[in-house]
Structure 1
């Protein structure tokens, strides 16, 4: 599940201050993605942009870019600046104003003391001093208990310290406030998987899929968890769905889904279920050579 966690951090964890070069790369890749679509909805537009953000950061060689991936705060600035660049350079941009569903929740606290404590916590997080970060985040939450950014980050800090129970506790608090929070839904699924509680992990991955049917990571996480539970047919269907989205988006994570598909195939082959494998592949428009 390391890959799934990394992706959620990359998509939702940009810091302020990236260069225009990064934004230009994201805009170009997003435009290429949009050009492949016959119809562009707000959901497709957002999916192309988030996938492009992931790919650009993964391929960037600047160590400062990777080091800065530790919170979700920067997503709004990057979305806005990339959206502005898209409008300048891409003819395929529809007359849709990109509105982040997270904006009312993933924003600074209106409580000045809470926000100041959060800023201090971010510094500790950058230094990987998670214990002191947690202390500062607790101070922030004492002043603003509904501060979603602080709730998500304190959960992440606990996860870094392998304190999975507290990580789950704070992800749940975040989801109580913002049930559609992609960051919390994905990462609470990761934590439950680390605890080998795959059934519970699946419930959160499926919620992520419900809120965002184009989220490949939701299908990927659910598929891996079902495979761990020997729910091979369900796992295969979900991995195929993740694979289709990755293929459409030309994502490097195609290799990950291919690896799992191969493992499922080998298991089903031993059980004389090759026909079932091919049937599920056909249902998902996956060509098997």
Structure 2
């Protein structure tokens, strides 16, 4: 983890980025493998918890990488052995890499992580299914849904309007849903989201707070409430809300990421950098696609603090989080 961050830190603050260093052939390969991995994500269920979704997406990426190299290895093997009909493979690990050795001595090294980060970043920008899966946050509880048929009818109706971009109609349907069942948490969440899309932040805040009254342990309304506070530039309120999210689930990097951003914008640089480092460490350890977002924020923080002559804050927080940036 430490070496990984040092590498990325140099890239973001140095002369070049990964993309600019890649030749056209490599970019083409990344695009090809990203598209294959994206197809694989069609089989990933959005009903899984986020950690499982990320694991399955990452498996799709690794599978695409390995399959491509196996295909290339077999092609090369055929050339070397003049279309050998049968090949017996011995599998072993050399220096951390999986190595496949053919029965006649031909060796093929399979790098399961080859361009992994670049493929993951490409998919985050271009794979619609991946973005949908990563964005799914609705963790159900006893208060999430309603046993009232009328409330569920209006909720489903609202979802259909929302999917079609008919936000005004979605708002009316969700309002009918919460009127039929005032303790319908997901309906309050979606009503808040619809108000947010309509730039009616005051009503959005009311809806998210209502959802939290119904279900105090709701993760989604906490996250969305913090986002609305950021939209209204109330960074202190946003930071406080993200801190509640961290208290709710200290292993959730989203809380640290949001708190890092909000605290920094509120002028509390130390807490901002500290929380962003915590988010980056968790994202990296779980191989989350959001690791690059945390990198970008940290690079900005460092650049901004350096201009102010306060880079020691960054260095101290890096040391606190056991990240070597030297």
Deviation at 1:136? 1.0
Paired residues in the alignment total 225
Q: Please, which of 126, 138, 141 is the counterpart of residue 103 of structure 1?
A: 141
Matching of residue 49 in structure 1 with residue 52 in structure 2: yes
Q: Please give the alpha-carbon distance, in whole angstroms, between the structure 1 residues aligned to 2:42 and 2:266.
A: 45
Q: CA RMSD in A?
A: 3.1
Q: Please give the alpha-carbon distance, in whole angstroms, between the structure 2 residues aligned to 1:196 and 1:162.
A: 13
Is the Cα–Cα contact under 8 Å of residues 44 and 57 in structure 2 kept in the other structure? no
Matching of residue 270 in structure 1 with residue 313 in structure 2: no
Which ranges of structure 1 fall in alignment gaps of 5 or more residues? 1-17, 28-45, 76-101
**Structure 1 228/54 Cα, relative in aligned 2: closer, same or farther at 3 Å?**
farther
What's the counterpart of residue 22 of structure 1? 44
TM-score, reference length from structure 2: 0.62
Higher strand share: 2
Q: Please give the alpha-carbon distance, in whole angstroms, between the structure 2 residues aligned to 1:64 and 1:180.
A: 28
Q: Please give the alpha-carbon distance, in whole angstroms, between the structure 2 residues aligned to 1:66 and 1:47.
A: 12
**Structure 1 152/70 Cα, relative in aligned 2: closer, same or farther at 3 Å?**
farther
Per-residue CA shift, 1:74-109, capped at 9, x if unaligned? Answer: x6xxxxxxxxxxxxxxxxxxxxxxxxxx321223x1
Deviation at 1:121? 1.0
Q: Equivalent residue of 2:44, what SS? A: helix
Q: Please give the alpha-carbon distance, in whole angstroms, between the structure 2 residues aligned to 1:276 and 1:62.
A: 37
What's the counterpart of residue 89 of structure 1? none
What's the counterpart of residue 183 of structure 1? 220
Q: Describe how 1:63-212 pairs up with structure 2 within 5 A.
A: 102-107=140-145, 109-212=146-249
**Structure 1 143/54 Cα, relative in aligned 2: closer, same or farther at 3 Å?**
farther
Matching of residue 236 in structure 1 with residue 273 in structure 2: yes
Is the Cα–Cα contact under 8 Å of residues 152 and 171 in structure 1 kept in the other structure? yes
Per-residue CA shift, 1:16-46, capped at 9, x if unaligned? Answer: xx997224x999xxxxxxxxxxxxxxxxxx6
Q: Please give the alpha-carbon distance, in whole angstroms, between the structure 2 residues aligned to 1:190 and 1:118.
A: 23
Matching of residue 218 in structure 1 with residue 251 in structure 2: no
Is the Cα–Cα contact under 8 Å of residues 53 and 133 in structure 2 kept in the other structure? no
Which ranges of structure 2 fall in alignment gaps of 5 or more residues? 1-39, 61-119
Q: Please give the alpha-carbon distance, in whole angstroms, between the structure 2 residues aligned to 1:254 and 1:69.
A: 13
Q: Please give the alpha-carbon distance, in whole angstroms, between the structure 1 residues aligned to 2:283 and 2:41.
A: 27
Is the Cα–Cα contact under 8 Å of residues 26 and 52 in structure 1 kept in the other structure? no
